[in-house]
Structure 1
C-alpha cells in the first residue's frame, strides 16, 4: 500500500474519533440540530469560516460558543456594535514612552476561534477589517504584517438584514465565509428537552474540551490530502459556471466559491469516513457554500424564488459524473 494512503487511513480514524466526541459534546448543548452541528464541524475541518444567520433567540451564539468550548484553544468574542472600530478587531500600534518605540497591541482577531456576535450591526468599514484576516490568516497594521494562529476560524452570527439596526454584509465579506447556515426553530420534542436541560442553568458551563488546537490543525491537513478525482473537479467547475449563466442570478459564484466548495466537500467526505470525494458530497454542501454568495435577479425575487431554489435547479440540470474509483 502507498504509505501516503496508509497515513491518510490512520488519520481518518483519528479524525472520526475526535469529531464524534465533538459532535456529542455540541449536541448536548444544541438540541435537535445534528445537521447544523455537522456542518459547523465540516467548516472547521475544511479550514473555513462560518456565518450563522437567523432571527434572535434560536441559538446562533450558543452554537458558536459550543464549538469554541469543545476545542482547547484561544477564543475571543467580539460583540459587533455600530461604534466598534476596525482597530478594536485588528489591533493598534501604541507608542511606548519607556522604549521610545511603537509597540503592537493585538486586537480581538488574534485567537484560534473568533466568535463574532451580530456581525451586521457594525458598519461596513468595521466589517471589512476582517477581510485580510479571513482570507490570508494575517493582519497588516502600519505596514507590518502579523500572522494569525493556526487553526483560525471566524464564526459570526447575524440577524436578517431587514431587522432594525443592521447593515447588509458587503459582497466581499460574505464571500470570505465558507458556508452560511440557519438554525431554524427546534421541533417541539427538542424544545421540551431544552426547557428541561437549560431551565436551571446553562449547559455551556459543563462543556469540556474534547480536543486541542494542534490536533485540529493536523486534521485540517489530513482533509487537504483527501483524493479528489478530476471528474469531481470538473463537476465543481460545471456547477459554479452554471450559477454565472443562470437567468435567475445577476451575480454568480466566484472562483473562491469553487475552491471552498471543494474543500468543504473533502471535509464532508472525511466526516463520512471516506478517503475520496463523491459528487454527493458536493451536492450536499452546494446551498450552504454558494447560497450567500449569489444574488438573485429582480425577476427571481418577484417570483418568490430563493437562492437555494435556484441552486437546486442547477443541481438537477448539471450532469453528474460517474462515481470515481
Structure 2
C-alpha cells in the first residue's frame, strides 16, 4: 500500500542504465579493441588500424561476407513476398478449410529449435538430391531456401500485426466505388502496411545474416557464410580482424537503422499532416454546406 511504483521512483533510471550497459558495453569494448595494435585482443598495445587493412586482404572472410550479404538480401526479399501474402490470407480471407493447419505451419519455425529444423531440412535436401541434380551439391541455393523458410514466419507475424490495425472500411469503400481487389491492395492496403514490410525485411535480413546452426546443416564445401567463418576462426582464438569486421557491421547496421527510422518517421509525420488537413477541410466545408441549406 505504501510502496512507490518503480515507474515513478529513481530506481527506474538505475535499472534502465544497467540494462543498456549489459547490452552495449560489450559492443563498445569490441569496437575499442578493434584499434588495438596487439594480436592479443585482451592486451592493449597502442592505437592502430592495421587490422582493418588485413581484414580486406583476408579472402576467406571477404568471401563469407559477400555470400552472407547475397543470401541475406535474396532471403529477405523472398520472405517479404511470401510473408505478406500469408499475412493477407490469414487476415483478409476469413476462416477457410485448412486455415488452422496453414496458421500452424506458418508459426511453427518460430518455436522449433534450430537443430531440429536444420536436420529436417538436411534430410529433405538429401531426398531431393536423389531426384533433382540441382540439390545433389548443397550450397548457396539450399542455404537460401532454408533461410526463406524460417524468415517468412517472422515477416508474416510483423505484417499481420499491422494488417489488423488497418481500417477495412476504407478498403470496402474503395471496392464499393468500383475499384478491383488488386487495385485496392496496391493503392490502399500496401501503402498502409509498407512500414511493417520494411521492418519485416530488415528483420529477415538480420536473421539470415546471423544464422549459424541451420546454415551449418544445409551448406556444403562450396558455400561458407560469415557466421560459419567467424565460428571456425574463434575456436582457434579470437583474431583482431574479427573485431574490425564486427565494428564495420555495427556501424553499417546502426547507420541503416537510423536512415530507415528517419524516412519512416518523415512518412508518418506527412501522413498525419494529411489526415489533419483533411479533417480541417471537412470541418470548414460542413458548416458552409449547412449554411447554404438554411438559406
Q: Report TM bin, short chain.
A: under 0.3
Which is helix-richer, 1 or 2?
A: 2
Which structure is higher in RCO with an 8 Å CA cutoff and minimum separation 6?
2
TM-score using structure 1 length = 0.26
Which is strand-richer, 1 or 2?
A: 1
- Larger Rg computed on CA atoms: 2
